[in-house]
Amino acid sequence: PALKGLTPTEEGEDSSSLPFGLIFSTFMVCCMAGSSLFSILVERIKVEVLGIGVLFVSAVSMMAIVFSTSDTVTFIFMNVFEMCVGMYWPIMGTMKGGIVPEDKRAAIYNLFRVPLNFIVLTSLLTDLTPKQSFIANTCMLALGAACQVNLMKRRLNVRNMDDLKVKAMQEEEKGGEDETVELTMGPDPPADSQALTSDDV
């Protein structure tokens, strides 16, 4: 419905002609690509910063779908959104594992489901058009991006992006110094070689 509802339908054209199997498989491939992209980027970028980027790109994708006048453009931005979905789950899993105490996870995760169920019920009980649904998604994703920015500032103890860049440079310099120390010291000699040396003496 989204692909046909956002663009003018030509006379005699039916939405059943859409290749739903190909569309769904493309979405799944994009979702897997997002998960793979996360595993690459997480080695260089903090998960809190990745979360901001994913939510921001998702909001932009939904907004582009709202104003799109082409099914092709709509489908492309849907694929971009699916890549963000693939990155979202490992990002949230990593952050929740470091923030939520293990002995309280069950109770807190159950509380998380309350607003989720409220949103689902609202979408089911209200007869929203596809365009209205994407507008609502854009607003919620933008709100999520703003909350993620606040979380990033609290977790990384920074006030703005300049502080974040300075902190990242300091960590890179510290990592380089640690590697230099390891290379200078060299590997420890095997235990058996030390025993042979003591016997010979």
pLDDT in tens, 35-86: 999 999 999 999 999 999 999 999 999 999 999 988 899 999 999 999 999 9
pLDDT digits (tens, 9 = 90+) for 147-160: 999 998 888 887 76
**Residue 25 above 70 pLDDT?**
yes
With a CB cutoff of 8 Å and minimum separation 6, the contacts of 54 are 84, 87, 88, 91
Residues of the chain with pLDDT > 90, as a percent, come to: 46
**Residue 132 above 50 pLDDT?**
yes
Residues of the chain with pLDDT > 70, as a percent, come to: 71
Among 15-19, 24-28, 38-42, 79-83, the range scoring the smallest mean pLDDT is 15-19
Instruction: Please report how the helices 130-156 and 47-67 are oriented relative to each other, as an axis angle in degrees rounded to 10.
Output: 160
pLDDT at 10: 47
Give the residue from 92, 128, 129, 153 showing the smallest Cα distance to 4.
129
**Residue 8 above 50 pLDDT?**
no
pLDDT at 192: 53
pLDDT at 102: 87
Classify burial at 148, counting beta carbons within 10 Å of its beta carbon; exposed 0-12, middle 13-18, buried 19 or more: buried
* Contact in structure between 28 and 80 (CB atoms under 8 Å): no
DSSP 187: P
Overall pTM > 0.85: no
pLDDT band at 145 (very low <50, low <70, confident <90, very high): very high
